Amino acid sequence: MSWVLVLKVDAPTREAWWQTELARRVPDIEVRIWPDTGPLDAVDGALVWYPPPGDLARYPNLQAIFSIGAGVDHIINDPDLPALPLTRMVDTNLTERMREYVVLHVLRYHRRQPDYDALQQARRWEELDQPHASGRRVGILGLGELGTSSANALALLGFDVAGWSRRPKSLDGVATFHGADGLVPFLSRTEILVCLLPLTAATSGLIDAAFLARLPAGAALINAARGDHVVDPDLLAALDRGHITGATLDVFSEEPLPADHAYWRHPKVTVTPHISAITDPVSSADQVAENIHRLRAGEPLINLVDLNQGY
């Protein structure tokens, strides 16, 4: 008997790609593309990105839910979510892509590329002061798989790197802070802040006016986690008064970002369309297939989410 998986991805162009990669690893799998799920009672698993609220509760024999992304807020926010094993994506390819994105935009602010772009528009030939990497304090907010990889890469480039996490962690070459008591000293020493936190009830709206005010004047923000971490009016106000010198935003409370949103036209904001770490089916299908094999063998799943913590 085939193993039936419902697939709901973020881009329809990836549907056939996922089908091909999963079939190579699980020969007897039947992948049904949402919303054409067929008989609901035949569905064994769901591989999803932003399923509609209540949708996952429709499958009476569902055994597990797999998130296509590293985050699971798009699933656990469902008030009707069934009490089933939920896994998140932990993939080397995804981690590498996020690391590239973070390093790229940290270097942009460190080497003052936005300032040089403005000088080019003004046709001004001017050399700006440039500190060494060792004199630039970068802070990684969130030291999970993605944050740890990015922090290590920046430390290897010679930056003065710190990281903040909810619980104590230790990384070679990275100053670490944790908990509520560690957040203020972490922020006060951070000139370029990178947000890679999971979105939970505790982190939603975290980056507000009071939070931004604790960063040094002229700090920059890079958010590649979730849009709901940021209170948009507060960030725009901090940019307008010059306390925050620039923001690179890959994620937004509403996606796609509405055409009339102020971020599009703000001279200090760089917008990218949630592309910092796209899940690649070629590498990520290995994890999904492994968990399907484990389910069928009655073994514990890998990368299981703690629903109480939200990640």
Read off the pLDDT of residues 11-42 as tens digits, 9 standing for 90 and up: 888 999 999 999 999 999 999 999 999 999 99
Q: Does residue 77 share a domain with residue 140?
A: no
Could you tell me if 107 and 133 lie in one domain? Answer: yes
% of the chain exceeding 90 in pLDDT = 96
Please check whether residues 143 and 213 belong to one and the same domain: yes
Residues 7 and 100 in one domain: no
Residue 308: pLDDT band (50, 70, 90) is: confident
pLDDT digits (tens, 9 = 90+) for 266-277: 999 999 999 999
Do residues 288 and 266 share a domain?
A: no
CA–CA separation, 214 and 182 (whole Å)? 12
52, 195: one domain: no
**Catalytic residue list:** 226, 274
- Amino acid identity for residue 127 in this structure: E
Could you tell me if residue 304 is inside a domain? Answer: no
Please state whether the predicted TM-score (pTM) of the whole model is above 0.85.
yes
Query: Are both 179 and 287 inside the same structural domain?
Result: no
pLDDT at 101: 98
Q: Using pLDDT thresholds of 50, 70 and 90, give the confidence band for residue 78.
A: very high
Q: What is the mean pLDDT of the chain?
A: 97
Residue 212 in any domain: the answer is yes
CA triple 250-145-172, angle to 5 deg: 115
Give whole-number Cα distances, 49 to 6, 8, 69, 75, 305, in Å: 11, 6, 7, 8, 15
Cβ atoms 110, 133 nearer than 8 A = yes
**In CATH, what number is assigned to the domain containing residue 67?**
3.40.50.720
- Of 48 and 11, the structure prediction assigns the larger pLDDT to 48
- Clarify whether residues 197 and 264 are in a common domain: yes
Counting DSSP H helices and E strands in the chain, the numbers are: 10, 12
User: 126 lies in a domain?
Assistant: yes
Domain carrying residue 143:
92-271
pLDDT, one tens digit per residue, over 158-194 is: 999 999 999 999 999 999 999 999 999 999 999 999 9
**Both 146 and 288 in a single domain?**
no
Q: What is the pLDDT of residue 200?
A: 94
In tens, the pLDDT along 188-224 reads 999 999 999 999 999 999 999 999 999 999 999 999 9
Give the range among 183-192, 258-267, 301-310 with minimum mean pLDDT.
301-310
- For residue 163, list its beta bridge partners: 140, 176
Q: Is the pLDDT of residue 10 over 90?
A: no
Beta-bridged to residue 6, according to DSSP, are 32, 46
Burial class (CB in 10 A: 0-12, 13-18, 19+), 96: middle
CA–CA gap between residue 164 and residue 169 (Å, rounded): 9
Q: Flag whether pLDDT at 115 surpasses 80.
A: yes
Number of domains in the chain: 2
CB 194 within 8 A of CB 174: no
Which pLDDT value is given to residue 35? 96
> 136 and 146 share a domain?
yes
